[in-house]
């Protein structure tokens, strides 16, 4: 494995309409004007990069693709430089198509209902307050490094029944898979191996000492045939829950705090009207949707009148759909009391995010606890905000000044 060449650097984009690249620094920094430009030009655009990839730019086109698993397969869900062979049941159900998808999805749904999340909520509130205790007396704080980054990883570790203290390990795997893995196959494979070994050890432990957690739940689950799931299925689902549940919500909480840091009117309103928080959370999800998924075109078809050919990937940008002014009046404005909000932050159709109720609860709790204890904060002009690259977008450095005396 050591003689594989280094990943190729991508040339900077000069023609977004015919040569888009979601790993370009300009996209990472501020994708919104790019999406507006592309949407004005066509509902579907194409790039030769990533061995060929389409980008739907409108809500309508994104919805059509999400609801059409016959032409758009989920067997590949990250747009990358390489398209290695598919391994069997990589991470069901997110990498599954009908008819395999439904039973795998139904297996994961019961632990993530709104009622199940209510039981987890006190632990998440405690996690938030433990983190705030760690920096409340400081004037300057990186809210990404000290707060947002740690909340979802600890919550999902709690649900899975693995030590919250292993968080840094999980965060590193996710970085290797979702960011470095776009251009570096070895990095991705290494992370997948390490995760599988980690979970195998936890499964082994539970054979002699069963626990009341998600790992045991999956070990005890039965497939359609009444038999226990194959270990590879259990491992794939565990990898999925860990990967999907962490930097996604970390990004959503971070983007929301970033917005509140530089929008005092919204911050003051949420402090004065805490009952508005669930509505505001939906608007943050729309305006700063963190997750861009992907599909692989497996049959020729058309989307919004544009021909789409097999052999290409599709960058399924729910974030771009959520900024479509045809669907959302004042789409480029954050309206924290927006009443009608059919946003697609958690996807549309059969692959709706399994953890959407968890993510919503974590966002609401993280913002509530922060605002209760830190009603006044602002971006630190001496620092710089940096954003993650690729599949999940959110602030990775969030330098804040805390308190009124700034």
Interacting residues with another protein (CB under 8 A):
106, 109-110, 112-115, 278, 282, 339-344, 346, 348-350, 352, 356-357
Q: Which of 110, 325 has the CB closer to another protein?
A: 110
Min dist CB 96 to another protein, Å, is 15
Q: Which of 23, 322 has the CB closer to another protein?
A: 322
Cβ–Cβ contacts within 10 Å for residue 12, how many? 9
Q: Beta strand pairing status for 140-142 and 377-379?
A: unpaired
Q: What is the maximal distance between C-alpha atoms in the chain?
A: 64
- If DSSP codes are grouped into helix, strand and coil, which group holds residue 359? helix
Q: Which of 108, 229 has the CB closer to another protein?
A: 108
HSE-up (13 A, CA, CB side) for residue 403:
9
Min dist CB 329 to another protein, Å, is 13
Q: Which of 110, 122 has the CB closer to another protein?
A: 110
Q: Which of 61, 177 has the CB closer to another protein?
A: 61
HSE-up (13 A, CA, CB side) for residue 129:
9
Q: Give dist(CA 351, CA 318) in Å, integer.
A: 12
Min dist CB 359 to another protein, Å, is 12
* Cα–Cα distance list, 45 to 11, 160, 187, 388, 391 (Å): 19, 40, 30, 23, 18
Min dist CB 352 to another protein, Å, is 4
Q: Which of 102, 193 has the CB closer to another protein?
A: 102
Min dist CB 336 to another protein, Å, is 15
Closest to 321 (Cα-Cα) out of 93, 53, 38, 27: 38
Q: Which of 350, 379 has the CB closer to another protein?
A: 350
Q: Beta strand pairing status for 53-56 and 313-316?
A: parallel
Q: Give dist(CA 25, CA 158) in Å, integer.
A: 35
Could you write out the DSSP letters of every residue in 201-229?
HHHHHHHHS--SSHHHHHHH-B-TTSSBP
First-last CA distance in the chain: 52
Min dist CB 240 to another protein, Å, is 17
Q: Give dist(CA 383, CA 398) in Å, integer.
A: 8
Min dist CB 348 to another protein, Å, is 6
């Amino acid at each position: 494995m050591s003689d594989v060449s280094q990943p190729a650097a991508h040339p900077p984009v000069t023609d977004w309409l015919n040569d888009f690249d979601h790993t370009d620094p300009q996209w990472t920094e501020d994708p919104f004007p790019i999406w507006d430009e592309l949407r004005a030009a066509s509902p579907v655009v194409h790039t030769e990069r990533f061995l060929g990839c389409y980008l739907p730019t409108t809500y309508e086109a994104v919805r059509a693709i999400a609801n059409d698993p016959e032409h758009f397969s989920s067997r590949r869900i990250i747009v990358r430089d390489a398209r290695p062979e598919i391994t069997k049941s990589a991470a069901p159900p997110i990498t599954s198509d009908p008819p395999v998808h439904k039973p795998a999805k139904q297996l994961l749904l019961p632990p993530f209902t709104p009622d199940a999340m209510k039981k987890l909520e006190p632990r998440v509130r405690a996690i938030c307050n433990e983190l705030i205790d760690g920096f409340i007396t400081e004037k300057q704080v990186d809210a990404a490094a000290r707060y947002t980054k740690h909340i979802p990883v600890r919550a999902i570790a709690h649900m899975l029944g693995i030590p919250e203290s292993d968080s840094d390990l999980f965060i590193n795997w996710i970085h290797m898979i979702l960011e470095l893995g776009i251009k570096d196959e070895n990095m991705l494979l290494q992370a997948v191996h390490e995760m599988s070994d980690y979970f195998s050890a936890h499964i082994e432990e539970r054979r002699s000492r069963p626990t009341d957690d998600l790992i045991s739940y999956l070990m005890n689950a039965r497939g359609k045939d009444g038999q226990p799931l194959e270990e590879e299925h259990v491992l794939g689902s565990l990898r999925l829950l860990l990967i999907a549940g962490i930097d996604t919500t970390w990004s959503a909480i971070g983007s929301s705090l970033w917005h509140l840091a530089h929008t005092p009117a919204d911050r003051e309103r949420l402090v004065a009207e805490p009952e508005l928080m669930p509505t505001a959370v939906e608007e943050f999800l729309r305006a700063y949707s963190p997750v861009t998924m992907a599909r692989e075109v497996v049959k020729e078809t058309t989307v919004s009148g544009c021909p789409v050919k097999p052999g290409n990937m599709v960058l399924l940008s729910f974030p771009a759909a959520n900024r479509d002014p045809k669907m959302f009046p004042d789409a480029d404005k954050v309206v924290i009391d927006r009443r009608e909000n059919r946003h697609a932050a958690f996807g549309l159709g059969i692959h709706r995010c399994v953890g959407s109720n968890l993510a919503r609860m974590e966002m609401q709790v993280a913002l509530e606890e922060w605002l209760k204890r830190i009603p006044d904060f602002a971006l630190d002009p001496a620092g710089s905000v940096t954003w993650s690259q690729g599949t999940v977008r959110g602030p990775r450095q969030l330098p804040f000044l805390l308190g009124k005396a700034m």
